[in-house]
Amino acid sequence: MFPNKTKAKKGADTKPPETFEKEWQKMEDSFNELLTFIEGGMLTPDPGHYKRSMGAYAVVYNICTKHEGAKMGVNFAAELYKRAKSLVEKHLEEKVTKQVIQKTGDALLQEVHKEWRTHALIVKWTRFMFKYLDDYYTKSPIIDTLTIMMLKCFHSAVFDKIKDNLRHVILANIESERDGNTINKEVLRSAIWLFIDMGMNTCDVYDEELEKVLIKQTKQYYKKESVKWMAEEGGQHTYLKRAEARINEESRRADSILAPTTKGPLLKALDDELLAPHIETCLKCPDAGCEALLQSERNEGLGRMFRLFSRVEGGLDQMAGIVKDHIEKEGKLLNSKFSTGSAGESGEAASTTYIKSCLTLHDKYTVLFEESLSKHEVFTKARKAAFEVFINPQQSDSWALKQKSKDGMEIVTTSELLSTYIDSIIKKEMESEEQLDAILEKSVTLFTYIHDKDLFQQFYMKQMSRRLMHNKNQRLLDQERSQIGKLKMKMGSAFTSKLEGMLADQSHADDHNRRFKQHLTSNQEAKLPIDFTPMVLTTGFWPAFKHDQLVPPEEMKICLEQYEKYYAKATQSRKLTWIHSLGHATVSKKFAKGPRDMSVTTYQACVLVLFNATGSVLVKEAQETLSLPFEEIKRTIHSLAYGKYPVIKRADGAKVKQVKETDQFVINEEFHTNSRKFKIPAVVKQERESITDTNQEQRRHVIEACIVRIMKSRRTLSHNDLVTETIKQLSHLFSPDMRIIKKRIEDLIQRQYLERDEQNRNQYRYLA
């Protein structure tokens, strides 16, 4: 409640303007009192002042609410406003400006800091005193609020006169701090924020007067700095460290004293001056550049490089390029190590070593990417590109994989090596399943880099078929299944359908055998002379096997016939063809030094059984009796006579290793080996060529089918489009040679599936 209220009401109609002047004087007095307090250094006036301010408020209120103003044609509110303004102006001009203008340098900062704080207080209390005006008078949009009005006074009276000096001092301070000196951050901050406040709810003044210049100065400063650093000895090595330090420093400073909006452009200025022009130099620097860091595996340095260059547009691309080149180089080195390495044994160890080292290389970079490069995809892409280069060499490339063979150096493909590696891993029977699974998972990652995936499929099928036929434990089957599952996820079910078929056959085999045994027991006539376990393969799933005309010994014959009878009864309209080249048997013999059990192939077993009839066997006769090609007989006898376990020997005892038609062989009665049971390995033909050839053949069909499919749906297509589309559709399986595609097109034209367009030679048309 206002103490003067009743008084005011009483004199409502009768007070003349002189009263106004009297009341005004009260206001002026209050104002001066306020100034005294503030200049006296007191920031918070005493409680009494508050009461007095309330009085001032009441005065204003009274003056304004009188109606006589309207009668006299005087707008008291406007008058009060005008006078308040001039009060403030006078004070500023007479006292404040004079003080401030004289100062320079840091003293200026201090003075500004003080005056601005003071002015804030003045604004606060004056506003309180004249608050009534704010409630009504200044609501009009053309009239500034008291705060704004007073700010504007400060702006024109003080700020405009000192702003250039002030700016100069601010910039000098910042530069000084950059150079390493300490400055008074508090006053600096307040000076900077003065610029902001002078914008009156916009940042325009700040932006124009301060920020622009600051950024320009920053640029110049760092331009010089960067040149200086580079010129120093060893400067290139430490450049990035310094740059990062500076960036952090500027960031901290911006947070503490600048407007939040400045941080972005400021840091960008740093990026533009410190980083962008020097990216290449830093990347290519011989000792501390990207290549060098990769070489010495300094992940921390790489991390810094990554952090900094990701700030600059296109910076990471250059870095990724170097990473790719480096990985490529390392990979090619692995290739040549393989090619020149030991071809001593069957080269199997070499393939394992090679694949293992590829996987290690891959892992090394996974670690790097995760730890230091934030798994940024530009690097994973680079690694993929690099791997694809050295994993898929062309025959003519210097880093092609080669292996020594009988006829010189042979080209080996990664498809084969990887398949062989997986083969060895599965056969090895590791202790822990997780370990095995982890290795297999990685090998599948490597698989995705291979271009000739169809060739891998061929090798894998061949090797898996052998695994399935020799080893029948459940654990192995589970592993096979899991591996196929992994491949299926990457390639789709079409790729793995045959493999799954093979597995299915394997699991049915037990089933069949059980039923076969039942059949035998129920059929009293059928008693097999030897232990017999057949396995049925469905033709479409398994790789093609050569059929032979082997005439097996009597004991075997009985078993085969029995099984054929059973199978004909158990199934409908199926034809069984025996593939003896795949079978194996156990043959026992009582040698002079003890009985022995030999694990041999079916062929070997048939040859050995011949010796039951006659002590000495002529090679030619063996060939005729067994009805096998001479090459096969030769190989088989060779493995029995000149291998690690020579169970037969030449009748004439000559020391030759060649087997001829006319040679006679007898059992080596003196044969001895320590173990009771052992395996006589048969000579395995070199399959690489045949598998590669089969694959080429298959590709021809695949390409043709693809071309026909494309043309059928598109009807007419230009040559380039057809080729591009074909390559695209086949890319997930293999990368076709342009030449082969053209040849297939020609062939299809010949066979009238397609024709060339009459008018446009470049166009093909589908012929229904």
User: Which chain residues interact with other proteins by CB under 8 A?
Assistant: 719-720, 723, 738-739, 742-743, 746, 749-750, 752, 756, 761-762, 764
User: Min. distance of Cβ 718 from other proteins in angstroms?
Assistant: 8
Instruction: Name which of 544 and 768 has its Cβ closer to other proteins.
Output: 768
Cα 370 to chain centroid distance, Å, stands at: 9
User: Min. distance of Cβ 745 from other proteins in angstroms?
Assistant: 8
Rounded-to-integer distance, Cα 153 and Cα 156, Å? 5
Query: Are 706 and 729 in contact, with CB atoms under 8 Å apart?
Result: yes
User: Min. distance of Cβ 517 from other proteins in angstroms?
Assistant: 57
User: Min. distance of Cβ 391 from other proteins in angstroms?
Assistant: 25
Instruction: Name which of 577 and 720 has its Cβ closer to other proteins.
Output: 720
Rounded-to-integer distance, Cα 540 and Cα 53, Å? 103
Instruction: Name which of 215 and 727 has its Cβ closer to other proteins.
Output: 727
Instruction: Name which of 474 and 720 has its Cβ closer to other proteins.
Output: 720
Instruction: Name which of 406 and 739 has its Cβ closer to other proteins.
Output: 739
- Contacts of residue 100, defined as CB under 8 A and 6 or more positions apart, other chains included, come to 108, 111, 112, 115, 158, 161, 162
Instruction: Name which of 77 and 717 has its Cβ closer to other proteins.
Output: 717
User: Min. distance of Cβ 739 from other proteins in angstroms?
Assistant: 6
Instruction: Name which of 339 and 726 has its Cβ closer to other proteins.
Output: 726
Q: Which residue has the tokens 């005087």?
A: 74
User: Min. distance of Cβ 712 from other proteins in angstroms?
Assistant: 19
User: Min. distance of Cβ 749 from other proteins in angstroms?
Assistant: 5
* Tokens matching residue 632: 């096969």
User: Min. distance of Cβ 750 from other proteins in angstroms?
Assistant: 5
Instruction: Name which of 67 and 761 has its Cβ closer to other proteins.
Output: 761
Rounded-to-integer distance, Cα 585 and Cα 588, Å? 10
Instruction: Name which of 590 and 739 has its Cβ closer to other proteins.
Output: 739
Residue 302, judged by CB atoms within 10 A of its CB (0-12, 13-18, 19+), counts as buried
Rounded-to-integer distance, Cα 283 and Cα 482, Å? 44
- Tell me which H or E stretch contains 482: helix 474-491
Instruction: Name which of 665 and 764 has its Cβ closer to other proteins.
Output: 764
Q: Give bridge partners of residue 651 from the DSSP assignment.
A: none
DSSP-assigned letter for residue 682: P
Q: Which residue has the tokens 């291998």?
A: 643
User: Min. distance of Cβ 722 from other proteins in angstroms?
Assistant: 9
Rounded-to-integer distance, Cα 434 and Cα 436, Å? 5
Smallest CA-to-CA distance from 421 within 337, 356, 341 is with 356
User: Min. distance of Cβ 760 from other proteins in angstroms?
Assistant: 10
Smallest CA-to-CA distance from 53 within 135, 124, 138, 147 is with 124
User: Min. distance of Cβ 738 from other proteins in angstroms?
Assistant: 6
**What separation in angstroms does the CA of 555 have from each of 395, 420, 524?**
51, 37, 17
Instruction: Name which of 96 and 741 has its Cβ closer to other proteins.
Output: 741
User: What three-state secondary structure class fits 315?
Assistant: helix
Query: Are 302 and 294 in contact, with CB atoms under 8 Å apart?
Result: yes
* Tokens matching residue 259: 């407007």
Cα 55 to chain centroid distance, Å, stands at: 73
* Tokens matching residue 249: 């420093």
User: Min. distance of Cβ 758 from other proteins in angstroms?
Assistant: 10
Q: Kindly write down the DSSP assignment for every residue of 30-61, as one continuous string.
A: HHHHHHHHHHTT-SS--HHHHHHHHHHHHHHH
Instruction: Name which of 621 and 755 has its Cβ closer to other proteins.
Output: 755
* Amino acid symbol at 23: E
Query: Are 645 and 678 in contact, with CB atoms under 8 Å apart?
Result: yes
